[in-house]
Structure 1
Amino acid sequence: MATILVVDDEMGIRELLSEILSDEGHAVDVAENAQAAREYFEQQTPDLVLLDIWMPDTDGVSLLKEWAAQGQLKMPVIMMSGHATIDTAVEATKIGALNFLEKPITLQKLLKAVEQGLERGATPPVVPSAAAAPGMPGAEVVDGIDGGPATPSSPASHAGAISFDIPLRDARDAFERAYFEYHLARENGSMTRVAEKTGLERTHLYRKLKQLGVDLGKNKGE
């Protein structure tokens, strides 16, 4: 989960982006103008910023310059506008903006830009091997992902090893699919026990499995 700041003077845009990104599991904060964004930065630094260019008090490009001059540009910034010219977009990129989204923003473009921004700004996690932590719960999961030998009960035996040479979203879905298939096989398809093991409410678990395309029937009786 990442913390994303949405800076836009349009309430409808703030609410829409907040809803979409929250559904993706992110923590979303909003600022209605440049001054509100400045006050936010006095308290914390987000993992990513979605910044509107045209705002009444200070425009987004000027605010971006301000952050760069003050050494606050430590996170990916994605500019947004429905009226900006190519020159404006190029200028923002030269200052340090990672990307530019033209309004109205499509869901696909938004999620792709956010994913790329977070990948750019994130430090790759260190994945421990099972050998480094013998007996650790879920060690078989790490074996399957790490490319090591998969045990018959490991997620890799159900979903195959997960490549790191794919987009973060695809890797995450592949891991979650393997994770749930592992627990379904281990609990002999019992949704009640899987819900308890994974800490999910049954309805949420069903919805998640359907979203990931997990074949529930395949795990019955295994």
Structure 2
Amino acid sequence: MANILVVDDELGIRELLFEILNDEGHAVELAENAARARELRLAARPDLVLLDIWMPDTDGVSLLKEWAAGGLLTMPVIMMSGHATIETAVEATRIGAMAFLEKPITLQKLLQTVQKGLTRVVARPAASAKSDPALPAASEPLLDATPHLVGARAADDESGTQRFDFDAPLREARDAFEKAYFEFHLNQENGSMTRVAEKTGLERTHLYRKLKQLGVDLNKSKRVGE
């Protein structure tokens, strides 16, 4: 059982995530804004945080950056949003977020990502057990430092995640993410350009140009509804 902190300004989402994670045997704390999240981060010392990006007082990326700067990013943080841009997702993972989940979040994807985050936590050495458990040991990273975005499936990755090269120039990293993003949605919608256009918020003509520019192979998809 893990202690999980859910930070989201939407009551319905907080309650839903609480029910799901609680049913899995986890202890769940809920925060409706960044101020409450700060309090629970220090009081509850969560093993993992689910953090919404868009919140009224302080947005999730700013809170993530604050924790990273203050040495408090000692647990996996999974970002959530239904309206985040690619640049926002990339920025969050650069700061230290473990993963990004797009709303609405499927039950399977939620549980898989949470489990992956919890297994990434490395046990502290016995020598550091007497130190403040909220702080990492100087030479012992608590997390796998390789960030990834959840939702884009790689053909050779059974975990359902796509890894990206964060040492690449921003344009190349963004193009890689966009290509994986559109390939994922094409696969989810069985190649239907109409449904992918609706899901991604693009006009079909713009979508076609974008896919061609990114080198997405449409022959791999069942182009339904064209």
TM-score category of the 2 structures, normalised to the smaller one: 0.5 to 0.7
* Divergent runs of 4+, >6 A: none
Partner residue, 1:86: 86
| Counterpart-to-counterpart distance in 2, 1:32 and 1:85 | 22
Distance 1:86 1:117, change over 3 A: same
Partner residue, 1:98: 98
| Alignment TM-score, normalising by the size of structure 2 | 0.54
Q: How does 1:23-102 map to 2 (within 5 A)?
A: 23-102=23-102
SS at match of 2:75: coil
Partner residue, 1:14: 14
Measured against aligned partners, the alpha-carbon deviations of 1:140-175 in whole angstroms (never above 9, x if no partner) come to xxxxxxxxxxxxxxxxxxxxxxxxxx99xxxxxxxx
Q: Check the 8 A contact 2:68/2:95 in 1, yes or no.
A: yes
Q: Check the 8 A contact 2:78/2:98 in 1, yes or no.
A: yes
| Counterpart-to-counterpart distance in 2, 1:16 and 1:41 | 21
Measured against aligned partners, the alpha-carbon deviations of 1:51-77 in whole angstroms (never above 9, x if no partner) come to 000000000000000000000000000
Greater percentage in helix: 1
1:29 Cα offset (Å) = 0.4
| Counterpart-to-counterpart distance in 2, 1:69 and 1:44 | 20
Measured against aligned partners, the alpha-carbon deviations of 1:16-66 in whole angstroms (never above 9, x if no partner) come to 000000111100000000000011123231000000000000000000000
| Alignment TM-score, normalising by the size of structure 1 | 0.55
| Counterpart-to-counterpart distance in 2, 1:99 and 1:19 | 21
SS at match of 1:25: coil
Q: How does 1:1-222 map to 2 (within 5 A)?
A: 1-123=1-123
How many residue pairs match? The answer is 126
1:122 Cα offset (Å) = 4.3
TM-align CA RMSD: 1.7
| Counterpart-to-counterpart distance in 1, 2:122 and 2:104 | 27
SS at match of 1:100: strand
| Counterpart-to-counterpart distance in 2, 1:95 and 1:44 | 22
Q: In structure 1, list runs of 5 or more residues that go unmatched.
A: 125-165, 168-222
Measured against aligned partners, the alpha-carbon deviations of 1:72-130 in whole angstroms (never above 9, x if no partner) come to 00000000000001110000000000000000000010000000000001439xxxxxx
Q: Check the 8 A contact 2:4/2:46 in 1, yes or no.
A: yes
| Counterpart-to-counterpart distance in 1, 2:35 and 2:48 | 18
| Counterpart-to-counterpart distance in 2, 1:49 and 1:86 | 21
| Counterpart-to-counterpart distance in 1, 2:98 and 2:47 | 13
SS at match of 1:72: coil
Q: Check the 8 A contact 2:51/2:77 in 1, yes or no.
A: yes
Measured against aligned partners, the alpha-carbon deviations of 1:185-206 in whole angstroms (never above 9, x if no partner) come to xxxxxxxxxxxxxxxxxxxxxx
Q: Check the 8 A contact 2:29/2:40 in 1, yes or no.
A: no
Q: In structure 2, list runs of 5 or more residues that go unmatched.
A: 125-157, 160-226
Q: Which has the higher contact order (CA 8 A, sep 6+)?
A: 2
* Counterpart residue identity of residue 123, structure 1: A
